[in-house]
Amino acid sequence: MSRKIAILGSTGSIGRQSLDVIAACGMEAVALTAHASTDLLEEQARRFHPRLAVMTDPVAAADLKVRLADTDVTVLSGPEGLLEAASLPEADTVITAIVGIAGLRPTLAAIRAKKRIALANKETLVCAGPLVLAEAKRWGAEIVPVDSEHSALFQCLQANRDRGEVKRLILTCSGGPFYGRTADELRCVTRAQALHNPNWSMGAKITIDSATLMNKGLEFIEAMHLYGMPPEKISILIHRESIIHSLVEYCDNAVLAQLGAPDMRLPIQYALTWPRRVPGPADPLDLWHCGSLTFGSPDESVFRCLALAKQAARIGGTAGAILNGANEAAVALFLDDRIRFLEIADRVEQAMSVVPVIPEPDLDEILEADQAARRAVG
């Protein structure tokens, strides 16, 4: 295919797998961005020859500029460089693979430049869903999800004529490394244990979110916005094998599911090629040897982050930004060995109890709610 793609966060897990898809499908990477992974971004730039490479860290950008002096790649730095990559005229598609609320402004820039958004930054909709979707409608920008669960829902809804026919969206969840554990058993889990996901290879922050089930809570809120569904029409299903990526139940009780190997290259590729399907690098699913498929329910009394996310979903307004900002700050503390695993939920709950919610916020109010939540975490 002839798509020209900007990848925001090309050195992370999603970014690297996106480049696998681009190479396999004959697409072109026209912009690559990273924070400070100079060695890897230089390697990617030399392989894919983008027009633009951006390091948000100024020192790393200066280093990269020297390294790429023998090429025709333009090197920019900082938030301004990121916004330029997001709205680059040559790009028709932007993969938003930056972690956290840092992806919000670049996503809005890409939307206002009328790009297709391959959305891998769930925090964008968690924090600012109504604002982002209104901007996408105003500018005529497509938003196609990259998360495996939302890609599955997107695919299962392709033949849907009327959202009123949808009875329920069912998001699947591996359960993370601690499924079945009690709160007492989780009091002393280590950083290394929490970073061991049973099925997926991801960055540190999202891996911790998967361990606390906050990741599923964020996806719950994201699904509400992407598909216009109220909280009561969305369910979470534990599926340890990560073969069924999500399901849609219709009003006649038919249930459609999307299956695939636990390989993120498949949903990445579909976001880039939709509405077409083409051969790609994703692993095939071998149903003859994948074993039994099991299902269960999450324990929200143990994995309280999921319950807090559902609470934020029901409240609306800036509650999503408060939830997300507090979680980002708390996870950073855990990864720095400054708080224990169960304290992540405690810190998020604390922030949600003290930061006021604004019902219909603008962008500045969303960003201020995020900062207030981080301050409340400490």
* pLDDT on residue 312: 98
* pLDDT on residue 71: 98
The 10s digit of each residue's pLDDT in 23-32 is: 999 999 999 9
Write down the pTM of the prediction.
0.94
* pLDDT on residue 199: 73
* pLDDT on residue 251: 96
Has residue 88 got a pLDDT over 80?
A: yes
76 vs 91: CA distance, rounded Å: 16
Give the mean pLDDT of 101-109: 96
The 10s digit of each residue's pLDDT in 363-375 is: 999 999 999 999 9
Which distant-in-sequence residues (6+ apart) come within 8 Å of 288 by Cβ? none
Confidence class for position 259, pLDDT limits 50, 70, 90: very high
Has residue 197 got a pLDDT over 80?
A: no
The 10s digit of each residue's pLDDT in 274-287 is: 999 999 999 999 99
* pLDDT on residue 377: 97
* pLDDT on residue 161: 81
The 10s digit of each residue's pLDDT in 338-358 is: 999 999 999 999 999 999 999
Give the mean pLDDT of 100-110: 96
* pLDDT on residue 288: 94
Confidence class for position 2, pLDDT limits 50, 70, 90: confident
Among the listed residues 378, 364, 360, 332, the one whose alpha carbon sits nearest the alpha carbon of residue 104: 364
* pLDDT on residue 1: 59
Where b means 16+ CB within 10 Å and e means fewer, 229-266 reads: bebebbbbbbbbbbbbbbbbbeeeeeebbbebebbbbb
* 96 SS3 class: strand
Has residue 244 got a pLDDT over 70?
A: yes
* pLDDT on residue 159: 80
* pLDDT on residue 146: 97
Q: Considering the chain, what percentage of its residues have pLDDT values greater than 70?
A: 99
235 vs 212: CA distance, rounded Å: 17
Q: Which amino acid is at 316?
A: G
* pLDDT on residue 271: 98
Give the mean pLDDT of 117-122: 96
The 10s digit of each residue's pLDDT in 136-185 is: 999 999 999 999 999 999 999 998 888 899 999 999 999 999 999 999 99
> Which stretch of DSSP H or E encloses residue 258?
strand 255-259
Which residue's entry shows tokens 């697409």? 27
At the fourth CATH level, the homologous superfamily of domain 4-145 is NAD(P)-binding Rossmann-like Domain (3.40.50.720)
Give the N- to C-terminal CA distance of the chain in Å, as an integer. 48
Among the listed residues 145, 309, 129, 301, the one whose alpha carbon sits nearest the alpha carbon of residue 224: 129
Which residue's entry shows tokens 């809005």? 108
Which distant-in-sequence residues (6+ apart) come within 8 Å of 274 by Cβ? 144, 154
User: Could you tell me which residue, 202 or 1, shows the higher pLDDT?
Assistant: 202
Q: How far is CA 172 from CA 135, 149, 152, 225, in A?
A: 29, 7, 10, 18
Phi, psi of 98 (to 5 degrees): -80, 140
Torsion of CA 61, 66, 69, 71, to 10 degrees: -50
Domain boundaries, the chain: 4-145, 161-262+284-315
How many residues in the chain? 378
Residue 70 backbone class (left: φ over 0; alpha: ψ -120 to 50; beta: rest): alpha
The CA radius of gyration of the chain, in Å to the nearest whole number, is: 20
Has residue 200 got a pLDDT over 80?
A: no
